[in-house]
Structures are given as C-alpha cells and as structure tokens.
Amino acid sequence: MLCEKAAKATLPAVRSIAVDILSREYSLKQSEISERLGIAQAAVSKYMNRNYSDRVSKTISALNSIGIDKNIKRALNKNKDTGNELMKIAVSKKVLEIKV
C-alpha cells in the first residue's frame, strides 16, 4: 500500500516540486532538468504545466505545508544521483504519513 502511494502520489509530487525549483531558481531548461532528475523531458513538461491528477496536486500542497522544499533543495544541491535522493524523500516516513 505504501509503495503504491509513493508511486502514484508522493514521488510525482516530489518531482514536481523539484522541477519547479530547478526551473524557477536555477533557470534550467526542460532538457537540463530531465537529465538532472533522470526522467523524460515529456514528464518535465507535464510537471511544469501542472498536468497531473488531483491526488498529486493535493499531495504537493500537503508537502509544501510541511516545508519539504527544504529537503528537496538539499537533495538538488548534492552532487549525487538526484533521482535516487528524491526517491528517498518520497518514501520517507514523514512524507508517507501525510494524509491527503
């Protein structure tokens, strides 16, 4: 059940917040964001255009309310596998316990 929640809502929400940060604060292009996060450019476009389910939208709001963007920014500043770092955030106890 938790893996399903992570796959359907929390990981897309975390990625969406990361895309927003990389786009707004780092001024990266979609192709650069795609490479950095290890996701398809089409997925980046989807996140930038806020083309996602209501469940993901509500999860984004909930994550923002607990200040998860700080964790995401920290992950983006590491020179490691960013996609893996975002996955760790998405499956963290703090995130999975959020009621949406």
For the residues of 33-51, what is the DSSP string, one character each? HHHHHTS-HHHHHHHHTT-
pTM: 0.89
Residues whose CB falls within 8 Å of the CB of residue 13, separated by 6 or more in sequence, listed in order: 56, 59, 60, 63, 90
Kindly list the domain boundaries of the chain, sorted by start residue: 2-96
| HEC profile of 55-95 | HHHHHHHHHHHCCHHHHHHHHHHCCCCHHHHHHHHHCCHHH
pLDDT in tens, 39-66: 999 999 999 999 989 989 999 999 999 9
Residues whose CB falls within 8 Å of the CB of residue 35, separated by 6 or more in sequence, listed in order: none
| Beta-carbon count within 10 A of 45 CB | 14
pLDDT in tens, 2-42: 566 566 788 999 999 999 999 999 999 999 999 999 999 99
Buried b (16+ CB within 10 A) or exposed e, 63-73: beeeebeebbe
